[in-house]
Structure 1
Amino acid sequence: MTDVPRWRGWRALAWLWLVAVLAVGVHQWRFWHESRLESDVLALLPRDAHDPALADATRRIADASARNMVVLLGAADAAQARAAAQAYRASLNTAQAARSLPFVESTSVEGWFDATREFYRPWRDRLLTDAQRVRLRDTAPDALAEEALAALYGPMGSPRMTQWREDPLNLWPQWWQAQATASGMRFDADGLLQADDSTGHARTWAVLQFETRGSAFRLDGEPVIDAALDDAYAAASKAVPDLRELRAGVPLHAEAAAVQASREVNIIGFGSLAAVLLLVWLAFRSMTPIVLVALSLLIGVAAALSVTAMIFGQVHLLTLVFGASLVGVAEDYGIHWFASRQGHPRIERWTLLRSLLPGMGLAWLTSALAYLALGLAPFPGLQQMAVFSAVGLGAAFLTVLCWFPWLDRGQVRPSALSRAMQAWMSRWPRVRLTKGWWIAAAVAAVVVIGGLWQLRSNDDLRNLQSSPKALIDQQIEISRLLALPSPAQFYLVRANDTETLLQREHKLTARLSSLAREGRIHGYRAISDWLPSQQQQAADAAMTARAENAVLVQVGAATGEQFARPTFASAALSLEAWMASPASKPLRALWLGRSGDGVASVVMVDAPGGDDLLDLLATQAQGLHGVRWVNRTAEFSSLLGHYRRMMLALLLAGAVLVFVSLWVRYRRDAWRAMLPTVLAGLLSVALLGWLGEPLQLFNVLALLLLLGMGIDYGIFLLEHRGDASAWLAVSVGAASTWLSFGLLALSATPALHAFGLTLLFGIGLVWLLSPLFRPHVPPHAQAAHD
């Protein structure tokens, strides 16, 4: 009768957990309908809380390209390029009518050019290049008049964009040409691009731009965008033989990542689940353990997904892939329950649960703390993974604790696997101070020292994500053809007001123009090239008026006609008017607006790459007040290295704390639970060195998890000394965890591959080493326990 109140309390806890699980189910329905999945790799990285302008610049640049795609169709001549573009568009329009595609075509190059030209027309007199300023200042009016007269009556020379009287010196086409050269644009009047492809063949390229509607990431793994573009290319190829197609854009990489993530979730998640359920069947030969263990896993993953989404608003795709490996860890509690039920069939369920609770609780605590240690680094992606894993483990543990005593009412009979594991346990050796064990220790020391000697670190940012090589190659070629600047390197310009900022930009672009003329860089993009400062506009307007009035007077005297200069806008072009116009569309992301006590903008550079050139670009900001060179790739890689070293220190501190907690419970036997994990960690890192695998942050994070999970095996063997059922639970749990993280090593994402490979070694080694250090149990104590 003394257990009745406790049973009632457990029943209330079971009902309370049922309510929580139902709430998770409701949230899951909403989550999958809203598809709140994060895709941007930059979301994994720390935010620049100490520099809001830099953080805003990074976000603006990423957002500007997050929904845009570009397709280049290369043909032998302009007529074929236009025909290919027409067939391409027709195919996409047909597909759009048949099924709603997640993207639409945005403004064409020629459409943007026409709208921008009309916008700038009232301020044509205020738009001069540095070369034009020198020419108007240093060339005599007579010489300018002769050039204008020759252009009026001579054969058509350079192209004109206005009537002669509106621009007698033909300044405006020269300004447009300079803008095109500076930004790398080489389009003709029809919006076609003349350039050689990567094989050296001359081609005329039609440029199509698209914008996605909503997220390009789909969990069903269907490459919707890629398939639609494939069909359009097939249709265009029929119309134009020998057609070359190039694609680029964040949505294409996003969809490729989503397809890869979906494939890996299926392989890792369902592969882990199948392996776990197979092991449970072999161990217990009953459907009840399979159903209940699967139930605990399902609830664990669902609760982890819901809590993560509620805390962070979105769930990153890499978190989902990482979370798929949780299956290999969360089943340990259910397996431990059924292994104990199998080994002690005569013990009442509630009594058995109370005997298991201290060890299971300590095992969950150490694992959860190891997972939560991931969240100590200010990486949003790692924080998501930490919360996801800790919550998933907690939900699986609570499911076992609250429901298994009520739902598991049958007998768990011994199986061939359980009997074999019990026999293996009795024959498994223990470490002794003998010659053979000293030799084994010496060999292990050589392996560890040799591997650590060969180990090298690699903190490259690209380890966080991988895209298909074909897509990367196309991105590189399009960047070359269109002179697209890198979003990872740029200049951050700041000032107290817009006027000062534009003047500072102009000083910077003067230096960049010199590099462009020397061929060191391909081009750059800056707002001040399209929106000069008020001071510069006034000076240019005055210079243009003096030169053109003098030319019109002299040409009129020579021809006997009167030429009146057209009227231009009386006020300078303002930032507000420019931002509201189509002209600013390609450059709006460069304007950051208010930042602290002033304003900020970005100047982007199209450079071929190389450390020497990046160093040269960094020197261009020297001596320019308010101008800073930013290399985000190098900064993030350096940051990854910093946190790798920090997490190594944290790993050592965590090992000390874990040993202290073990000492509190096990005293002089605490080392038996600790040493196998420490040795497994050292050997795992050494094996990475022998295999030539670099050490990166995610290897260290895997070691943190190994510390939490590996300790569990030692705890179970110490908590239930001489109990063969504990060894069965450890073996089945370790095997499923090993398979789970082993499959994670198959991930195409380098970071997840490194994480999985480290745990593939670590879990296997800690399973082999843990029983070597188990305490000796006297025969009479073993018989009494049995």
Structure 2
Amino acid sequence: MDAVPGTGARLGLLLAWLAVLAVAGWALGRGLRVEEDLRRFLPTPRTPAQVLLVDELGEGPGSRALLLAVSGAPPQALAARSQALHDTLATRGEIALAANGDHGGLDAVPEHLRPYRYLLSPTLDTQPLDAAFLRDELEQRLQDLGSPAADLVEPLLPSDPTLETLRLAELWQPANAPQRRHGVWFDRAGAQALLLVQTHAAGFDSAGQQAAVAAIGAAFAAGVQDAPESADARLEISGPGAFAVAIRDRTEREMRWIGTVDTIGLLLLLGLAYRRWSMPLFGALPLASGGLAGLGAVALLFDGVHGITIAFGFTLIGVAQDYPIHFFSHLRPGQSPRASVRALWPTLVTGVIATCIAYATFLFSGVEGLKQLAVFTVAGLAVAAGSTRWLLPRLVTPARRDPADSRVLARLWHGVARLPRPRAALALLAALALAVIAFAPGAFWQNDLSRLTPVPPADLQRDAQLRAELGAPDVRYVLAVQGDDAEAALQASERLPPVLQRLSGEGVLDGYDLAARYLPSIATQRARQAQLPDTPQLRQALDEALADLPFHGDAFDPFVDDVATARAADPLTPGRLAGTPLELAVSGLLLEGEGHATALVSLTGLHDPAALAAAVAPLGAQLLDLKDASESLVAQWRVRLLAALAAAALLLAGVVWLALRSPRRVLRVLAPMALSTLLILAVLRGLGVELNLFHLVSLILAAGLGLDYALFFDHAGDDRDEQLRTLHAVIVCSLVTLLVFSLLALSSIPVLRAIGGTVALGVLFNFVLALLIARAPAAERAP
């Protein structure tokens, strides 16, 4: 019999183990870079629409847009509150752009770009900068100076007598912008002041979006000082970022209470099962070691660890909690812990290797997120199993009682032993499950990613209302024009506005927006530059225009200088817009890659996609359906995952065969897992559940649990005491796992609900079927 370490040695090992975990956790906490870019979990896009969708998910303006509505006060008070909010947000680092219709401010055209106004504005396309035009504009300025607009016009007059700056500001207002009241945007009913905000944080950056939402809330709260009459006003924030923040908060709240209940339940179950306070602590050590090892392995092999990898990884290595439970249930008086674990090790390592092979197939999926998940789970399970084998036995003392001596367990096993071998019934059950899977009504796969969002339908409907009020672009359809570079793409897109304006008049769409609206192509800028008069010509035209007008000729020297600057300047390019509001508008509609560029045209109120696609096709533009692209991308992801699962199934069967070397035993071990998978799918399909990617990942975990149950029932052979200990272990494992995943099944988060429900069903089916199939036949038992 192996010597049992003394109390001091056990305490030293425990403290050393805890210290290593603490240091590893501290090191990972300091150096771990957590990513939240959803594109890491998407396959490589193939079609133009898929490429655009992936870019939009990460960096596109749609993912950065937040829609704000202020209500609950008189219109004038709401306008004041809107303006105070706008002015505060303009100074916040989290906010890239805030718009509320107040185009009187000159922030729409940055100071250093104002000399370029005639290159950016379409005025010179139809109107020369001659004496007649200047005369007409100066006469209008005289009228403006005598109007309420004088305070706005007077500062601009010396450098911009034609007010081209304001024309640009008006041109750059969002297409189909809402009505203005008291100088700011309002909804059609006049009951809500509206704002459109774009964040610096990308759409996938939930932490950045959370900071932006918090900044908006703080700015709104501070605005009551500038508009005390609107103290009762309410702020609504909608858009992808706001939804992401709400989902994150909601998920964290649910995971906190689920984690609390899980922890209490786990402690009670293990305490009741083993009646030793140390068992819950010792049982958690291999799982904690595996989790930290998985994180460390991903951190070493990848640039960062994705948040989904962490969440799914800890879920998938949950099977590792069964390893110490099997060990504890096989402890008995008169046998050292190390001898107990040695007897279990062949069976345990078979299950570990088979499960690791299943997850390792993700390495060949072509999806970086799944590769991270494979590394996490394989490293985590290996370390959890290794620590159960070599460290845990040195911590525990021999058991004072043998689970095989339990009268309750003996009566239960006696009842189980009398159960028949329902071979024909199980075959019939499998056939019935296949029939339900094949013929149940409704779609088999769920391709619509929006169905996975826990955002309440009322909030989604409200978001659609705000988008309609603000004239925000359609989130499904977009036009794309390809080019070898940004200049080619811009030139190609400049051919579209006449056709789009005609279609708008015909009711095909309500509005559109494109990068060339903010940044014309270099060719267009050169053409406008050629229309600018030189300095002597401009001064002569200005002198003629000023005749009999009460302006001093030298008052417009800044205007002459600006025109001279624009005439000699190099045309503006996307790179020269850095740090300006135009950068955000252009970068979202002009995507530059290596050796190619895409100019996008966002659409508002598209009523006839087919008519639009047919009209723009001769101009080289393509109408992209991002919803269709998302569904095809999901289907592509699923094909990769299913291929990985098929390979994993073959490898898993091969590992079990090498371990058992008996066709009969191999069949008894694999059959419960295979039939459980069919039954899970049949129940889900029978309930009308459309299967998504999270169901598939959950099926892998359920299969891993079922394999372990069957392997240990097979390991028990025909020895009655071993059978009782195995039954004890599997009952404890099943109850612990069932508790965790049943709580997840009660979640309001669709993803958590899909995982929880699938695995909970798997635990039940695998437990029952392992008892019916994998236990040794009665004829093989010793009398």
> Is the structural similarity TM-score above 0.5?
yes
The residue type paired with residue 496 of structure 2 is L
Residue 685 of structure 1 aligns with which residue? 681
For the pair 1:388 / 2:385, whether they are aligned, the reply is: no
Residue 765 of structure 1 aligns with which residue? 765
Distance (whole Å) between structure 1 residues aligned to residue 281 and residue 669 of structure 2? 31
Of 611, 633, 640, the residue aligned with 1:639 is 633
Q: Mark the CA change 1:487 to 1:303 in structure 2 (over 3 Å): closer, same or farther.
A: farther
For the pair 1:125 / 2:114, whether they are aligned, the reply is: no
For the pair 1:717 / 2:703, whether they are aligned, the reply is: no
Deviation of 1:584 (Å): 2.0
State which drifts further: 237-246 or 520-529: 237-246
Residue 452 of structure 1 aligns with which residue? 438
Distance (whole Å) between structure 2 residues aligned to residue 604 and residue 666 of structure 1? 63
Distance (whole Å) between structure 2 residues aligned to residue 64 and residue 27 of structure 1? 39
Residue 471 of structure 2 aligns with which residue? 483
* 1:70-85 to 2 correspondences below 5 Å: 71-74=68-71, 79-85=76-82
Of 172, 175, 195, the residue aligned with 2:187 is 195
Residue 662 of structure 2 aligns with which residue? 667
For the pair 1:397 / 2:385, whether they are aligned, the reply is: yes
> Residue 374 of structure 1 contacts residue 386 of structure 1 at CA under 8 Å; is this kept in 2?
yes
Residue 423 of structure 1 aligns with which residue? 411
Residue 525 of structure 2 aligns with which residue? 537
Of 672, 677, 689, the residue aligned with 1:676 is 672
* 1:732-747 to 2 correspondences below 5 Å: 732-747=732-747
Q: Mark the CA change 1:447 to 1:65 in structure 2 (over 3 Å): closer, same or farther.
A: closer
Of 313, 320, 332, the residue aligned with 2:322 is 332
Of 54, 58, 83, the residue aligned with 2:55 is 58
Deviation of 1:496 (Å): 3.6
> Residue 77 of structure 2 contacts residue 227 of structure 2 at CA under 8 Å; is this kept in 1?
no
Distance (whole Å) between structure 1 residues aligned to residue 674 and residue 227 of structure 2? 61
Of 395, 398, 408, the residue aligned with 1:410 is 398
Residue 656 of structure 1 aligns with which residue? 650
> Residue 78 of structure 1 contacts residue 192 of structure 1 at CA under 8 Å; is this kept in 2?
no
SS of equivalent to 1:428: helix
* 1:77-96 to 2 correspondences below 5 Å: 79-85=76-82
Residue 245 of structure 2 aligns with which residue? 255
Q: Mark the CA change 1:439 to 1:126 in structure 2 (over 3 Å): closer, same or farther.
A: closer
Residue 350 of structure 1 aligns with which residue? 338
Q: What are the superposed Cα offsets for residues 391-441 of structure 1, whole Å, 9 maximum, x if unpaired?
A: 33222212211112211123241469954233322221577577xx74675
Of 496, 518, 527, the residue aligned with 2:515 is 527
* 1:434-583 to 2 correspondences below 5 Å: 438=424, 442=428, 445-446=431-432, 448-454=434-440, 456=443, 457-463=445-451, 465-467=453-455, 472-485=460-473, 490-542=478-530, 566=560, 568=563, 569-572=566-569, 573-575=571-573, 578-580=576-578, 582-583=580-581
Distance (whole Å) between structure 1 residues aligned to residue 185 and residue 217 of structure 2? 26
Deviation of 1:119 (Å): 4.3
Of 588, 594, 597, the residue aligned with 1:596 is 594
Deviation of 1:702 (Å): 2.3
For the pair 1:179 / 2:172, whether they are aligned, the reply is: yes
SS of equivalent to 2:567: coil
Q: Mark the CA change 1:444 to 1:471 in structure 2 (over 3 Å): closer, same or farther.
A: same
> Residue 37 of structure 1 contacts residue 217 of structure 1 at CA under 8 Å; is this kept in 2?
no
Deviation of 1:509 (Å): 4.1
Distance (whole Å) between structure 2 residues aligned to residue 594 and residue 761 of structure 1? 48
Deviation of 1:645 (Å): 3.9
Distance (whole Å) between structure 2 residues aligned to residue 752 and residue 241 of structure 1? 40
Residue 34 of structure 2 aligns with which residue? 37
Distance (whole Å) between structure 2 residues aligned to residue 560 and residue 355 of structure 1? 106
> Residue 148 of structure 1 contacts residue 551 of structure 1 at CA under 8 Å; is this kept in 2?
no
Aligned residues: 754
SS of equivalent to 1:622: helix
Deviation of 1:42 (Å): 3.9
For the pair 1:622 / 2:617, whether they are aligned, the reply is: yes
SS of equivalent to 1:180: coil
Residue 584 of structure 1 aligns with which residue? 582
Distance (whole Å) between structure 1 residues aligned to residue 229 and residue 404 of structure 2? 67
> Residue 83 of structure 2 contacts residue 184 of structure 2 at CA under 8 Å; is this kept in 1?
no
Distance (whole Å) between structure 2 residues aligned to residue 580 and residue 643 of structure 1? 36
Distance (whole Å) between structure 2 residues aligned to residue 35 and residue 556 of structure 1? 68
State which drifts further: 747-756 or 715-724: 747-756
Deviation of 1:720 (Å): 1.7
Deviation of 1:560 (Å): 13
Q: Mark the CA change 1:479 to 1:270 in structure 2 (over 3 Å): closer, same or farther.
A: same
Distance (whole Å) between structure 1 residues aligned to residue 153 and residue 352 of structure 2? 74
Distance (whole Å) between structure 2 residues aligned to residue 227 and residue 583 of structure 1? 22
> Residue 721 of structure 1 contacts residue 775 of structure 1 at CA under 8 Å; is this kept in 2?
yes
> Residue 286 of structure 1 contacts residue 412 of structure 1 at CA under 8 Å; is this kept in 2?
no
> Residue 81 of structure 1 contacts residue 206 of structure 1 at CA under 8 Å; is this kept in 2?
no
Q: What are the superposed Cα offsets for residues 108-158 of structure 1, whole Å, 9 maximum, x if unpaired?
A: 7659734616445423333444xx678649xxx999799769857879899
> Residue 293 of structure 1 contacts residue 334 of structure 1 at CA under 8 Å; is this kept in 2?
yes
The residue type paired with residue 583 of structure 2 is K
> Residue 430 of structure 1 contacts residue 773 of structure 1 at CA under 8 Å; is this kept in 2?
no
Distance (whole Å) between structure 2 residues aligned to residue 586 and residue 219 of structure 1? 16
Q: Mark the CA change 1:692 to 1:609 in structure 2 (over 3 Å): closer, same or farther.
A: farther
RMSD across aligned positions (CA)? 5.1
> Residue 64 of structure 2 contacts residue 198 of structure 2 at CA under 8 Å; is this kept in 1?
no
Q: What are the superposed Cα offsets for residues 664-694 of structure 1, whole Å, 9 maximum, x if unpaired?
A: 3241321111111111111111111111110
> Residue 76 of structure 2 contacts residue 182 of structure 2 at CA under 8 Å; is this kept in 1?
no
SS of equivalent to 1:643: helix
> Residue 483 of structure 1 contacts residue 606 of structure 1 at CA under 8 Å; is this kept in 2?
no
Deviation of 1:769 (Å): 1.0
Deviation of 1:329 (Å): 1.9
For the pair 1:607 / 2:604, whether they are aligned, the reply is: yes
> Residue 493 of structure 1 contacts residue 504 of structure 1 at CA under 8 Å; is this kept in 2?
yes
> Residue 53 of structure 1 contacts residue 595 of structure 1 at CA under 8 Å; is this kept in 2?
no
Residue 25 of structure 1 aligns with which residue? 22
* Paired-residue identity, %: 24
Q: TM-score if structure 1 supplies the norm length?
A: 0.79
> Residue 84 of structure 1 contacts residue 240 of structure 1 at CA under 8 Å; is this kept in 2?
yes
Distance (whole Å) between structure 1 residues aligned to residue 490 and residue 87 of structure 2? 43
Distance (whole Å) between structure 1 residues aligned to residue 552 and residue 220 of structure 2? 60
Residue 726 of structure 1 aligns with which residue? 726
For the pair 1:782 / 2:782, whether they are aligned, the reply is: yes
Distance (whole Å) between structure 2 residues aligned to residue 57 and residue 261 of structure 1? 24
SS of equivalent to 1:408: coil
For the pair 1:322 / 2:315, whether they are aligned, the reply is: no
Q: Mark the CA change 1:502 to 1:233 in structure 2 (over 3 Å): closer, same or farther.
A: same
> Residue 338 of structure 1 contacts residue 412 of structure 1 at CA under 8 Å; is this kept in 2?
no
Distance (whole Å) between structure 2 residues aligned to residue 726 and residue 15 of structure 1? 31
Distance (whole Å) between structure 1 residues aligned to residue 552 and residue 612 of structure 2? 51
Deviation of 1:169 (Å): 7.5
